[in-house]
C-alpha cells in the first residue's frame, strides 16, 4: 500500500482541487477560512492557562466512575492499537488521530447512546471505539463526517480504513466535508446523544458545527471537543452558555474538552 501513497505535495492538492468544482470550492473555502479565522475571546496564552487550571487527571477520573469499565476500555483500546499499528505501518503518511480513545469507548458503554455524531474520521480509530461499544451495547448508530485528506493520492479510500467490517452495519459515513455532511446528517437525525468534534480545528469550523447541530442536543448529550488548545472556542462556548459541568483532560500535551453531567453518571 505504501507505494500508492505520496507525501504531502502540491500535486495531490491540485489533483484534488481539479477533480470537481465541489473540490475546488472546498480548497478555496479552506484557504479563506484559515486566513480569516478568529482566535476567540482569549489569547493563546490565556487559553492555555485557563485550560491548565481546569485540567484533571483522566485516568483517576474515569476509574472513579467505574473501575471495571475503565479497565475494559484500556484493554480494548490497547489491543486494537496493536492490531492497527500493523496496517498503519504500511502507510507512509500520518493520517491523523492520536486521542484519548479509551474515553470514547468508556462513555459510549456507560451512556448507551442511540445516536452518536462525530466529525473527523481519518484512519478510523475514534469510529472504531464508538462502533465497538455500540456493538456491545446492542444499540446505536454512528454518523461520521470527514473530508478526504487532499494531500494524499486517492484519499477517499483511507477514510476509516481501520474500522472492522463487522461493525460497519451501525455506521453511516459521509465524506464530502462538514459543510455538506452535517446538512445531510441533520436530515437523518432528530436527537444526538454523543457529539465528538475532531475535524476542522478552526474556530469558525467549531462554531458552524454547533450552530447546525446544537438544536439536536438534549440535557444528557455528551459533547466532546478535541484539541481545545488550538483557540478559545471551548472556553467561550462554556462561558457563553453558562455550562458548569465540563471537564478538561490532557493527553500528550493536547487537550480534550467534555461537556456532560459525568458526576451524575458516576453516582448512578
Ligand atoms: C484529527 S483527524 C481525526 C481523527 C479521528 N477522530 C481519530 O481520533 O481517529 C481530523 C480529520 O478531519 C478531517 N477534516 C478536516 N477538515 C474537515 C472538514 N472541513 N470537514 C470534514 N472533515 C474534515 C481530516 O481529513 C481528518 O481526517
Q: What is the pTM of this model?
A: 0.89
Residue identifier of the C-alpha nearest atom 27 of ligand 1: 122
**Reported confidence tier of residue 171, pLDDT bands at 50, 70, 90:** very high
User: What b/e sequence results for 105-140 when a residue is b if at least 16 CB atoms lie within 10 Å of its CB, and e otherwise?
Assistant: bbbbbbbebebbbbbbbbbbbbbbbbbbbbeebeeb
Q: What is the DSSP string of 47-64?
A: HHHHHHHHEE-HHHHHHH
146-170 pLDDT tens trace: 987 655 666 667 899 899 999 999 9
Counts for the chain of helices (H) and strands (E), in that order: 11, 8
Residue identifier of the C-alpha nearest atom 26 of ligand 1: 122
Q: Is 124 left (phi over 0), alpha (psi -120 to 50) or beta?
A: left
Which residue ranges form the domains of the chain, and what is each CATH number? Answer: 2-266 (3.40.50.150)
Q: How high is the pLDDT of residue 92?
A: 64
Whole-number Å distance, alpha carbon 144 to ligand 1 midpoint, is 10
CA nearest to 104, candidates 235, 222, 230: 222
| Lining residues, ligand 1, CB within 6 Å | 96-97, 99, 119-122, 125-126, 145-147, 149, 177-178, 198-200
Show the cell assigned to 209. Answer: 458545527
Whole-number Å distance, alpha carbon 198 to ligand 1 midpoint, is 6
Amino acid at each position: 500500500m505504501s507505494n500508492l501513497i505520496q507525501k504531502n505535495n502540491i500535486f495531490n492538492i491540485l489533483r484534488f482541487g481539479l477533480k470537481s468544482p465541489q473540490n475546488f470550492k472546498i480548497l478555496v473555502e479552506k484557504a479563506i477560512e484559515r486566513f480569516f479565522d478568529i482566535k476567540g475571546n482569549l489569547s493563546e496564552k490565556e487559553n492555555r492557562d485557563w485550560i491548565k487550571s481546569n485540567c484533571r487527571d483522566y485516568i483517576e477520573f474515569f476509574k472513579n466512575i467505574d473501575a471495571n469499565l475503565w479497565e475494559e476500555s484500556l484493554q480494548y483500546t490497547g489491543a486494537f492499537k496493536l492490531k492497527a499499528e500493523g496496517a498503519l505501518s504500511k502507510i507512509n503518511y500520518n493520517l491523523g488521530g492520536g486521542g484519548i480513545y479509551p474515553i470514547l469507548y468508556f462513555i459510549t458503554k456507560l451512556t448507551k447512546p442511540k445516536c452518536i455524531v462525530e466529525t473527523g474520521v481519518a484512519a478510523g480509530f475514534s469510529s472504531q471505539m464508538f462502533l465497538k461499544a455500540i456493538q456491545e451495547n446492542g444499540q446505536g448508530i454512528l454518523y461520521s463526517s470527514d473530508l478526504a485528506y487532499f494531500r494524499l493520492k486517492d484519499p477517499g479510500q483511507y477514510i476509516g480504513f481501520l474500522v472492522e467490517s463487522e461493525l460497519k452495519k451501525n455506521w453511516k459515513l459521509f465524506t464530502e466535508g462538514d459543510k455538506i455532511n452535517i446538512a445531510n446528517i441533520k436530515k437523518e437525525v432528530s436527537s444526538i446523544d454523543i457529539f465528538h468534534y475532531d475535524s476542522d480545528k478552526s474556530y469558525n469550523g467549531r462554531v458552524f458545527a454547533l450552530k447546525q447541530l446544537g438544536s439536536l442536543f438534549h440535557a444528557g448529550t455528551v459533547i466532546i471537543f478535541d484539541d481545545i488548545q488550538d483557540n478559545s472556542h471551548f472556553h467561550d462556548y462554556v462561558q457563553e452558555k453558562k455550562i458548569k459541568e465540563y471537564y478538561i483532560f490532557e493527553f500528550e500535551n493536547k487537550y480534550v474538552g467534555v461537556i456532560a453531567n459525568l458526576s451524575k453518571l458516576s453516582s448512578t
